[in-house]
Amino acid sequence: MAGGVTPGPFTLLPGYWCERFVYSSLYTEVPVSWAVMTTTSAVPAVRCINADARRMAFGLPERERLRALDRMGRQKPLGAMAALHRGEPCGLGLKLGGAWVEWSARPVLFLPLAGRTQPTCPRTDELREGFGAPLTMAADDCS
């Protein structure tokens, strides 16, 4: 086939779809930020959500940070991983500063659209870790 792409069997690949929605407040319906990541294992899905939540919490004043970390400590990572392995979604929602942040992970089946027979592009082999750049909860001083 032209262009180095060969037709192949359409084997569905199991994986996990993870999202982070940031709302300006608990009462807002439209997110101000959305990020997504995919992974092939429940372990990095849950670890990434927890790491992202902790990273965001450490930008808060001490009292709010301790409250957020306490809430995260009550969420059991093993329970989330078990839910994903059972085919159920899992999630975490936290009030961080004035914002409301929701993380979720759910099992999905990915459909590979084409197989490559030639060398890959330089950036295709790089793995993006997590949800990308951490969010800043405080207003930035742009002066």
CB atoms within 10 A of CB 96: 19
**Total-model pTM:** 0.70
Instruction: Give the separation between CA 124 and CA 119, rounded to whole angstroms.
Output: 10
Whether residue 141 is predicted with pLDDT greater than 50 in this model: the reply is no
Pairing of strands 115-116, 99-110: unpaired
Q: pLDDT value at position 2?
A: 46
Closest CA to 81 of 13, 4, 18, 30: 18
Whether residue 132 is predicted with pLDDT greater than 50 in this model: the reply is yes
- Residue 17 in contact with residue 39, Cβ under 8 Å? no
User: Can you give the residue ranges of every domain in the chain?
Assistant: 14-109
Please write the tens of the pLDDT for every residue from 2-44: 455 555 566 788 999 999 999 998 888 899 989 898 988 999 8
> What is the pLDDT confidence band of residue 125, given thresholds at 50, 70 and 90?
very low
Please write the tens of the pLDDT for every residue from 36-75: 989 889 998 998 888 888 888 888 888 888 888 887 776 6
Averaged pLDDT, 87-116: 85
State both tokens at 36: 């997504």
34 Cα distance to chain centroid: 10
CA-CA-CA-CA torsion sign (42, 22, 75, 56): positive
What amino acid occupies position 101?
V
Whether residue 96 is predicted with pLDDT greater than 80 in this model: the reply is yes
- Residue 80 in contact with residue 54, Cβ under 8 Å? no
Q: pLDDT value at position 107?
A: 94
State both tokens at 105: 């992970």
- Residue 18 in contact with residue 52, Cβ under 8 Å? no
